[in-house]
Amino acid sequence: MSELSERVAIVTGGASGIGAASARLLQDAGATVVVADIQEAKDGVGRFVTHDVTSEASWKALLADVLEREGRLDIVVNNAGVSGGTGNVETTTVEEWQRVQAINSEGVFLGCKYAIEGMKKTGPRKPECKGSIVNISSIAGLISGAGPLAYTASKGAVRLLTKSVALHCAEKKYAIRCNSVHPGGVDTAIFNPLWQAVGHEQGKAFIGARHPIGRMAEPPEVGEVVLWLASDRSSFVTGAEIVADGGITSGLMRRLPLAAP
Partner 1 sequence: MPRLENKVVLVSGGASGIGAATARLVLREGGKAVIADRDEEKGRALANELGASALFLPLDVTHEADWQKAVTGTVEKFGGLHGLLNAAGVGAGGDIESCTLQDYRRVNDINSLGTFLGCKAVIPAMKQSGGGSIVNISSVLGLRGAPYAAAYCASKGAVRLFTKHVALHCAQMKYNIRCNSVHPGYIETPMIEGRLSQTIGNMSGRQWLEELHPIGRLGQADEVANMILFLLSHESSFSTGVEFVCDGGLTA
Q: Which residues form the interface with partner 1 (CB under 8 A)? A: 56, 88-90, 92, 94, 97-98, 101, 105-106, 109-110, 112-113, 116-117, 140-145, 147, 149, 152-168, 170-171, 239, 255, 258
Q: Which is nearer to partner 1, 2 or 164 (CB)?
A: 164
> Which residue, 14 or 107, has its beta carbon nearer to partner 1?
107
Q: Residue 19 or 141: which CB sits closer to partner 1?
A: 141
Question: Taking a C-beta distance cutoff of 8 angstroms, is the pair 184, 139 a contact?
Answer: yes
Active site residue 151: yes
Distance CA 26, CA 226 (A): 9
Q: Nearest approach, Cβ of 90 to partner 1 (angstroms)? A: 6
Q: Between 21 and 108, whose beta carbon lies closer to partner 1?
A: 108
75 beta partners: 9, 132
Closest to 141 measured CA to CA, from 188, 172, 115, 179 = 179
SS (H, E, C) 233-254: HHCCCCCCEEEECCCCCCCCCC
CA atoms within 13 A on the CB side of 5: 2
For residue 76, give the 3-state DSSP assignment.
Answer: strand
Q: Which of 48, 151, 191, 206 is catalytic?
A: 151
Q: Tell me the closest approach of the beta carbon of residue 42 to partner 1, in angstroms.
A: 31
- How crowded is residue 136: how many other Cβ atoms within 10 Å of its Cβ? 28
Q: How far is the CB of 151 from partner 1 (least distance, A)?
A: 9
**Rounded distance, CA 27 to CA 33, Å?**
6
**Min CB(30)–partner 1 separation in Å:** 28
Alpha helices in 70-106 (DSSP H): 94-100
Catalytically active residues are 151
